[in-house]
Chains A and B, each alone.
Chain A
Amino acid sequence: DTAVSQTPKYLVTQMGNDKSIKCEQNLGHDTMYWYKQDSKKFLKIMFSYNNKELIINETVPNRFSPKSPDKAHLNLHINSLELGDSAVYFCASSRGLAGGQETQYFGPGTRLLVL
């Protein structure tokens, strides 16, 4: 049983295209996150949702739009893809917010390559 799953695993696309990445967790968690890991391996928070409500929205270009249809799903839509968007995108979930005490469970990642 996969706790946090993401699709697709790999995404190769042309600059200017629009693409979506989907994430689902079956842990019953209230909070979900999107992270970006660049080529230097820095893992940076992009967004988080708690019970479908947007909690964190870091300084991310508005070409990136998260959507949480229910608390088990968090999708990421990217418009007008740019070369600099190439990275690995990780979805994660936690039981709640709890000020940093909560363990985060990560998905396997989506490797995005923009050509």
Chain B
Amino acid sequence: SQKIEQNSEALNIQEGKTATLTCNYTNYSPAYLQWYRQDPGRGPVFLLLIRENEKEKRKERLKVTFDTTLKQSLFHITASQPADSATYLCALHGSGNTGKLIFGQGTTLQVKP
């Protein structure tokens, strides 16, 4: 069955450094991959979408890569700030045209001042 894995251990980094989060998937070849941010007590918020034919996508300090050979996406936050502290979820679209997204369990990022 389709499986998505994100590092369940929290990632702690110093302010100003680059945070890199990993999303690996198996038994699947998604055409799209999305990243969401979730703050405690709130719903996920969309950040970026990358297509299978795109190697890289950028938005301000965020960068996402999508390696369909390795079945992996990397999510980078450059010049990280304490306000970037949150849980980051990757999501793959399920097969067919149902709008279904399959989410990873998320990685919690803590940026220390």
Contacts and interface: CB of A to CB of B under 8 A. Distances in A.
Nearest to A90: B43
Contacts of B46: 103-105
A57 to B, nearest CB: 10
Contacts of A109: 41-43
B49 A103 contact: yes
Interface stretch (A14-22, A44-52, A60-68, A70-78): A44-52
Interface in B32-72: 32, 34, 41-46, 49
A84 interface: no
B101 interface: yes
B1 interface: no
B98 to A, nearest CB: 5
Interface string A64-99: 000000000000000000000000001010101111
Nearest to A43: B103
A100 B94 CA distance: 7
Contacts of A107: 43
Interface string B68-111: 00000000000000000001010011101111111101100000
A45 B100 contact: yes
Contacts, number: 75
A100 B106 contact: no
B30 A100 contact: yes
Contacts of A106: 43-45
A41 to B, nearest CB: 5
Contact of B97 (A92, A97, A104, A108): A97
Contacts of B87: 41
10 contacts: A41-B87, A41-B106, A43-B44, A44-B103, A45-B94, A45-B102, A48-B99, A90-B43, A99-B97, A99-B99
Interface of B: 30-32, 34, 41-46, 49, 87, 89, 92-94, 96-103, 105-106
Pairs of residues from A and B, 7 with the lowest C-beta to C-beta distance, nearest first: A100-B93, A106-B43, A97-B99, A43-B103, A100-B32, A103-B46, A99-B97
Interface of A: 4, 31, 33, 40-45, 48, 50, 55-56, 90, 92, 94, 96-109
